[in-house]
Structure 1
Amino acid sequence: MKRIGVLTSGGDAPGMNAAVRAVVRKAIYHNIEVFGVYRGYAGLIEGDIKKLEIGSVGDIIHRGGTMLYSARCEEFKTREGQLKGIEQLNKHEIEALVVIGGDGSYQGAKKLTEHGFPCIGVPGTIDNDIPGTDFTIGFDTALNTVIDAIDKIRDTATSHERTYVIEVMGRHAGDIALWAGLAGGAETILIPEAKDDMKEVLARLKRGTERGKKHSIIIVAEGVGSGVEFGKKIEEETKFETRVSVLGHIQRGGSPTAFDRVLASRLGARAVELLIDGHGGRCVGIQQNILVDHDIIEALSQTHTIDKKMYNLSKELSI
């Protein structure tokens, strides 16, 4: 292995830069040239590829976002687009590609693998919805951003004796909502993996009021539905003064936490090690604090799940 490429794709996540840095410096340490593919698969098709040196990734480990930029690319979902990408990789004599991103990015890496081009997937997404790993790069940072917002909103909810609905990101996964809700002491957590009956939510709110509770925090994962609509429904049914906060893309930015920086560094380096050992078509992850790797095609056939015990605990603690 003499020359590899690295790209980031899909939604940005804090820690992606740390992963890029690890890939570049680990490879150069082993006398492998590294080329950065800019703007994800769109840049791959267009040949937006440049050589990266040690200094190219200096002073980025603490920065959010991705220095390689990111973009959506419908063309790469087609066979023609995928072959154009491989043509560009061959043109630059790149022998393998490290793909840092979420589910859509993995799908692209899977397609390249099926065409016979070696790829390694590195899980970078705040959603924490990639099978085969306990945590994805960016999840911990996004989680702490949400918790900080919950704490601030709770101060206002207490002062004005209001019910607050907070909508968080996560696509079709409820990990951000579940972890942030449990850590933030939310009274109700609504996630797509365990849909609560609205009557139960309303009954919980009323029980709290009857025992003297002056405010409530309800966390809604975007995969369940609109936080605004839930807020309207709650206010109509209970007559409690209700406000809604949609946190939005603030969750995707910011300096990565120490956990995400270390996780990204470990996973990025492990991706290079796999390529050095001649393994392609894999995706790396961490399970029980041990680095693991799986066949990327098999991994994508699995379904993401949540920790049901944690979900049940959140309900028990919010009585």
Structure 2
Amino acid sequence: MSAADPALATTLCGIRLRNPVIAASGCFAYGVEFEKLVDLNSLGGFVVKGLSREPIEGNPAPRLFETAAGMINSIGLQNIGVQAFVRQKLPALAKLQTAVFANIFGYETEDYVEVVRVLEDHEGLAGYELNVSCPNTRHGGIYFSSDPALLSEVVAAVKQVARRPVIVKLSPNVSAIEPLACAAEASGADALSLVNTFIALAVDPRTRRSRIGAGFGGLSGPAIKPIALRLVYQAARAVKIPIVGLGGIASGVDAAEFLIAGASAVEVGTAIFWDPQAPVRIAGELAKFLQTEKIPSIRKLVGTLEL
């Protein structure tokens, strides 16, 4: 089956998607680097790697460690900065016939606002995804993603300057997801994406040091899928805005599970490391699943989980 099967067509925050499978931020560079490997226009969309006000060099090596069912990464949000992005990358992205989202992060509210202000002056983006899994340096290093008040502050501030839809990417490293989901919705978020990676550690028993240069890293891949599914289900029950589900998706059946749990679309990340064409393949497998199960549209699948 094709990633362009009409049964896969959907919308997210008013944005038309060819299919509900989006390449996740941090795993697809700025998109253009993959154009010789993947037909970018066959994707439902993709999220460029996180953008900040100024360039960031990232964390010391080693940055990746393969685990039994996924990987730990600690890239440190390395990126070229928003000004270089609009000069060097965005002109090519603006020519694509697929939805391109900019992932944005910062260490205080004004960082997010300034990046959005810059991007608002340029064409080529469908929307924004806010990575709120960063410490707020003005509030003692408390993570935006762990405090409903701080989360509300940054979302509301971005919504004041953004004309495009704003998706808030939530962290799983919290005691309960519902208060954060509700805070983002109440502050104007157009959608939520979840989950981000789980804080993790890998130890080298011979050196007695971390296998990651920065110490801790983010665990992703198939190992986190059952927990991600639970969090997507809980968030979808708590809010009325759409959910983009991610966390260990590696097949069309995986994608279907997230849709059934309440997601309206999905993102694929770690699978791209071993299969750059994973988003297109997964969309085709999802179309095959719909055909086999005699489901006319993915909309008939969303939120149908019975517990």
TM-score range, shorter chain: 0.3 to 0.5
Q: Which has the larger radius of gyration?
A: 1
Bigger relative contact order (CA 8 A; separation at least 6): 1
Normalising by structure 2, report the TM-score: 0.32
Normalising by structure 1, report the TM-score: 0.31
